[in-house]
Amino acid sequence: MSEWNSNFDYEEENEPEIWDEHQWEDFYRETDKRTDQYIHLIDKYKDHPDRNRIIAREMGWTYLRDEDDGDKKRWMDEFDFYEYDEGEEWKNLTDYDITDFDSFENLPLYQKAFEYTIDAMNMIDEHLTNVNDESINTFGRCVTIPPAKIAGGFGLGFQMDSLGGNIANCKRGLSAANKMLEALYDIEKKNLLDQETYLNYYSRGKEIRDGLAIYIIELRERFRRGIP
């Protein structure tokens, strides 16, 4: 068995080890190419009316949904979510139970993040396509990551043996969201984008970033309590 497999093969003959978010983060450093694939697909199909289904299929996420069910619908500061890690105040910031959804596409946070990604890419095409600046490249790259990480985490599920992976996925999405907002701030400071457009996208992006941070808190609480 290779060194890689010996480190990350968690499907043992005995009962599998319960990985926490940090062990999963080590694993994900080995699997970043999946994010590159998602970025390629979201750019390729961003204007396709059935883009969600196509991207899910090509990413191999068809196991997250019933393909035969035709009726199934488919900011600069870091968010200091650690202040909510103790106590119950964070619960007032969300109004749904994440396990109420049978598909990542129906999860409100994913829907907001995905719609923002599509709108942001169209905004770049309309306002910034002929501007060569690293902050634009960073924004365009990072804006695609949060929905991919939310979806990938959802696919792992909410059971104890995979919940740490779900959390680690979402933490990577949160990191990308922070970089996305920093890049957008740099774009505005360089006067590459008008104020109205900037404020619109910054506000929406911050909402998604903050929502993702709260989502991570809920996942961590489930892991702490051992809630499947």
Identify the DSSP state of 226.
Answer: T
Task: Report whether pLDDT(226) > 90.
Answer: no
Q: Each residue of 85-137: pLDDT tens digit?
A: 544 454 455 567 777 888 899 999 999 999 999 999 999 999 998 999 999 99
The answer to whether residue 84 is domain-embedded is yes
DSSP string, 45-88: STT-TTHHHHHHHHTT-GGGS-TT-TT-----SPP-GGGGSSSS
Q: Residue 133: CB partners within 8 Å, gap ≥ 6?
A: 187, 190, 192
From the list 128, 139, 126, the residue with the least C-alpha distance to 185 is: 139
pLDDT on residue 17: 78
Over the Cα atoms of the chain, what is R_g? 18
pLDDT on residue 144: 94
Report in angstroms the alpha-carbon separations of 131 from 40, 67, 195. Answer: 21, 41, 17
The answer to whether residue 6 is domain-embedded is no
Identify the DSSP state of 17.
Answer: P
Task: Report whether pLDDT(15) > 70.
Answer: no
Under a CB-based contact definition with an 8 Å cutoff, are residues 119 and 144 in contact?
no
Q: Each residue of 63-78: pLDDT tens digit?
A: 444 444 443 333 344 4
Residue ranges making up the domain that contains 213: 40-66+73-88+95-225
Q: What is the mean pLDDT of the chain?
A: 80
The answer to whether residue 82 is domain-embedded is yes
Give the total number of structural domains in the chain.
1
pTM of the model: 0.69
The answer to whether residue 161 is domain-embedded is yes
**Residue 146: which pLDDT band, with cuts at 50, 70 and 90?**
very high
- Torsions phi, psi for 149 (to 5 deg): -75, -35
The answer to whether residue 54 is domain-embedded is yes
The answer to whether residue 44 is domain-embedded is yes
The answer to whether residue 155 is domain-embedded is yes
